[in-house]
Structure 1
Amino acid sequence: MTGHVRTRVVVVGGGPVGLLVAAELGAFGVDTVVLEAAAEVSMRPRATTLHARALQCLVRRGYLPELRPRAMGGAESTAPFHFGGVEGLPLSVPAGEPGPLLKRAQADLERMLEERAVAAGARILRRHRVTEVTQDADGVRAVAEGPEGMLTVTGEFLVGADGARSTVRDLAGIGSQEWPATVSAMAGLVELAEDKALEAGWHRTARGWLVVKHEPGGGTHLRTLNCSRTHARRDEPLTLQELREEVSWLAGRHVDMERGRWLTRFSDFSRLADRYRAGRVLLVGDAAHVHFPIGGQGLSTGLQDAIDLGWKLALTVQGQAGDGLLDSYDLERRPAARRVIDNTQAQLALMRPGVEVDALRSVFAEMLASEGPGSRVGDLVSAQDTVLPPRFGPSPWEGRFLPNVALRTPQGETDLIGLLGEGGPLLVLFGGPDTLRIEEQAGPWADVVRVVRAETVASVPCEAVLLRPDGYVGWAPGGADLEAALEACFGQRPKGGAGDAGQPRAAGS
């Protein structure tokens, strides 16, 4: 394809985060073009972990339907995890939620999200490398080198989802805070000369760490951590000989290996963009934040960026957003990324060699064991402790994530996940003396906010909540008046009037 393409939103980067942005925009009926340099989904092993809050938000948007709980009964679900190599960290979720952890190859997730994005109407243009990004008061312009020449794509907004070395971030002039590398790490899939040369698992040695995973079909995934130095040649390809020498040095004995694939270097270099929005350009995922990959939090953090941004950008493009709604993306997601950077740096501190760290690690292991399910550290790693900054006053519910509850509605029995899966902001009225007044106040915003009357099987300590598409509470009684909150989120409406725009589709519908 050559020439000029017009769209409403341009997404640069077709990894899982960029594809989720495209799928979410498409669900709201926003025409979207994705520009991706790669010709196809990469099979290179990358992220394999999705944590609880990311799963909860995805399921509420209709993704991963196989993870949706089939019944509301039962107890909370718990899975074992680690913090900085210290075993014994329980990750727990309330009953009625998807499990606390999903292990799935990034390539599989990426293919699923691409299918959803295409089904929602997004155009995915592969083998297109963006070289130029400009913007003015009317829109954005991206120029990409494609298989048939130069392609210009214009739109109203552009989302940079193009990874840690983001071209979009640089071209938009967005600065960042950086933490330089202090360690060196390597990874790759190899064949060991002796099958039992290394046991599977996490191995702390006197010099660093080895993480070993034997694949059922053959081969061994290796990851190393050397705390004594940084990479001297960070940008040069890693060789099998270098990996062999590093593994042998860390193990304190010769470990022979043959035939390596997907060999790579990485470190604890961290970056946080100074802002996630520069005019009509926005950043998501690794383009906005980079950290040491301990704890598998990177993919989950990026996907939560995409879900937070998707509905806000869609309503902005459609003229249904209030002043400041799109800016709230930065206000909510930058602090979340900073917390991930902080906790990965804390985990790395626990992994460094030394007798003083051994003592700290021992004390920390006892603390984890004593906390049990629902621990503060577990909620930190799984992002379940995330509370969004309030916008509308002192309501104890605003900004919190509302756990799934069983509901009875005039249409039958369902739950919060089922209601949110239909798409769009949702005002749920649980009953009480003010519910009629609350419903009347919401009337002018019927084009954006769906109102549902429901009875809860479990107790919800308020008579109404305005739920965002991601499951967070946007408003609840006790703070600002509902009309003021709706106007701030979705713009002014004529008193007593309602627009005619349709509700977004559920993901995959």
Structure 2
Amino acid sequence: MGLWLAAELRLGGVPVTVLEQRATPSPHSKALTVHPRTLEVLACRGVVEPFLAEGVRLPDGHFAALDHRLDFGVLDTPYPFTLALPQARTEALLEQHARAAGADIRRGHRLTGLTEHATGVRVDVEGPSGPYETEAAYVVGCDGTRSTVRDAAGIGFPGSDATVWGWLGDVVLDAPLTRPVLSVSTPRGGLLCVRLPGGVHRFVGHTPEDQQPSWPGELTFEELRAKVLRINGDDFGMRDPRWLSRFGNAARQAETYRKGRVLLAGDAAHMHFPAGGVGLNVGVQDAANLGWKLAATVRGDAPDGLLDTYHAERHPVGVELIDTTRAQTALMTAYSGDGAALRDLLSGAIAAVPEFSRRLAEGLSGLSVAYAAASGSHPLTGRRAPNLRLAGGRALFDLLRPGRHVLLDLDGAGRADGPSPDAVVHEGPLAEAHPDWVGVGSALIRPDGHVARIRV
């Protein structure tokens, strides 16, 4: 997500310009879900409270819209829930944060081409007053699945075309839901309905007739209502459509997330069916991984190869994202009797096997993401650090707010693990024991909250 990346670069002392081709923000919200790890990323910069104040907390989430939902309350996080918040508000809050950090956000400016040279990138832009050129040290494409930056850089985007089409409609209901979420799965199709702010409800669904390789055309209100009636037997008196849209299960991933001075993040790097509501979250986490590395590179104090670790760490996350959403799509569209039996089996396992449910929840939430570590490293290396409670009344997420490395000297045996003179240093033990951190003497935590090194 470009806005979060812009704020991270500013936190790292780097000037940044955001080119946004839309002159005004879109009122529509493709994404609704903010997952726990994204909330942690926001908390690590001290900006989570406005999101929590506006969003609706849901104690669970779904995997492939199975009948039994995943209990997020068992997760090791200060935010054991999914947050329902329309993307339009999420983007507005992120833009406010980026502007406050000093990012130059230019609305109505569209990148039309770029040319890399030895010391930077020449960027061709179409602005409100006409075309112009500007220079940048690096360019990051956060411009969606049809990325102009990706195409201009010549980065391949291989994958598969759509064979299944989902649909959504934001409407007003004469008979509103009495609960936050409605989930229906029948041989006639699958349906989710969620309450949104302002008296609007969102319907998202698919039917057997939606399995086709060709674009079905724009969704109409009459089609939406007919599909909901067929699946659910009741349309709740829907009226006054605010937004109607259709989406497919095309799955693609950029061949590389970095090519010279051009990088990709978010939907420009990976395209998938929006199962589980994880897309926006993975984009923010791409930006969290890239921001501090790119800032250090631009400042000139990055170790050799640091920027290359962005692709090395985040490309596998994109692979897993696509594999997981493909699996969910297959389950959601399993309309046959055999498919229904498989759905019942897995749904029952979620209810009966807590560890299975927890593993799925950790994957959807983003809490399980771990980056590869050198052979012989401590098992915590590369994993995301929890919000450890520290002696003196502070917590790890508080120490990460400046966007620098944090050295936790827990046993007082020295700071040999320190990465640089500007690391935030905490001396003292944990205020509350954590089972995974027993025996840890010191830990170096990266600015994105992942463990860099451990000394026992």
TM-score, normalized by the shorter chain, greater than 0.5: yes
Q: Which moves more between the two structures, 458-467 or 236-245?
A: 236-245
Secondary structure of the structure 2 residue equivalent to 1:317:
helix
Following the alignment from structure 1 to structure 2, what is the Cα–Cα distance between the partners of residues 109 and 161? 16
Provide the C-alpha distance between the structure 2 equivalents of 1:49 and 1:214, rounded to a whole number of angstroms.
Answer: 12
Distance 2:73 2:317 in 1: 20
Instruction: Work out whether 1:283 is the aligned partner of 2:267.
Output: no
Tell me how far 1:197 sits from its aligned partner: 12
Q: Deviation digits for residues 440-463 of structure 1, max 9, x if unmatched?
A: x648x21x4333312212343211
- The alpha-carbon distance between structure 1 residues 335 and 406, as it changes in their structure 2 partners (threshold 3 A), is same
Shift of 1:123: 0.4
Q: Does the C-alpha gap of structure 1 residues 124 and 463 become closer, same or farther in structure 2, counting only changes over 3 Å? A: same
- Structure (1 or 2) with the larger CA radius of gyration: 1
The answer to whether the Cα contact below 8 Å between 1:52 and 1:93 also exists between their aligned partners in 2 is no
Counterpart residue number, 2:212: 230
The separation in 2 between residues aligned to 1:316 and 1:263, in whole angstroms, is 43
Matched, 1:367 2:349: yes
Give yes or no for the alignment of 1:26 onto 2:10.
Answer: yes
| Distance (Å, rounded) in 1 between the aligned partners of 2:266 and 2:339 | 32
Q: Is residue 28–residue 314 contact of structure 1 (8 Å, CA) maintained in 2?
A: yes
Contact 1:131 1:145 in 2 (8 A): yes
Structure 1 CA distance for aligned equivalents of residues 17 and 3 of structure 2: 10
Residue aligning to 1:401: 384
Q: Counterpart of 2:28 in structure 1: which amino acid?
A: R
In structure 2, how many angstroms separate the alpha carbons of the residues matched to 1:254 and 1:309? 44
Runs of at least 5 residues in structure 1 that lack an aligned partner in the other structure: 1-16, 69-76, 479-509
Distance in 2 (CA, whole Å) between partners of 1:198 and 1:62 is: 34
Q: Deviations over 1:6-31 (max 9, x none)?
A: xxxxxxxxxxx110000110111110
Give the Cα separation in 2 of the matches to 1:325 and 1:293. 31
Alignment partner, residue 45 of structure 1: 29
Aligned residue in 1 for 2:47: 63
- State the partner residue of 2:444: 466
Distance 2:197 2:144 in 1: 30
Q: Is the Cα–Cα contact under 8 Å of residues 177 and 195 in structure 2 kept in the other structure?
A: no
TM value normalised by structure 1: 0.80
Q: CA 1:59–1:196 in 2, change beyond 3 Å: closer, same or farther?
A: closer
Shift of residue 56, structure 1, vs aligned partner:
1.6
Taking the aligned partners of 1:260 and 1:78, their CA distance within structure 2 comes to 25
Q: Given residue 353 of structure 1, which amino acid in structure 2 is its aligned partner?
A: Y
State the SS of the aligned residue for 1:424: coil
Moved more, 85-94 or 247-256: 247-256
Partner of 2:155: 174
Counterparts of 1:258 and 1:160, CA distance in 2: 38
Gapped runs of 5+ residues in structure 2? none
Amino acid at match of 1:325: L
Tell me by how many angstroms 1:424 deviates. 0.4
Please give the secondary structure, in 2, of the residue aligned with 1:471: coil
One-letter amino acid matched to 1:103: A
Distance 1:263 1:389, change over 3 A: same
- In the superposition, the TM-score normalised over structure 2's length comes to 0.89
The answer as to 2:424 corresponding to 1:453 is no
Quick one: which of 61, 70, 84 aligns to 1:89?
Answer: 70
Q: Out of 87-96 and 204-213, give the one that drifted further.
A: 87-96
Distance 1:401 1:256 in 2: 46
Structure 1 range deviating more: 325-334 or 363-372: 363-372
Matches within 5 A, 1:298-313: 298-313=279-294
Show CA shifts across 1:35-92 (max 9, x none).
Answer: 0011122120221111122222221132214689xxxxxxxx9922221111231124
Report the structure, 1 or 2, having the larger helix content. Answer: 2
Q: CA RMSD in A?
A: 2.8
Partner Cα distance (1:283, 1:277) in 2: 7
Equivalence map 1:328-477=2 (5 Å): 328-351=309-332, 352-372=334-354, 375-391=358-374, 393-408=376-391, 412-431=392-411, 435-436=413-414, 438-439=415-416, 442=418, 445-446=420-421, 448-459=422-433, 460=437, 461-477=439-455
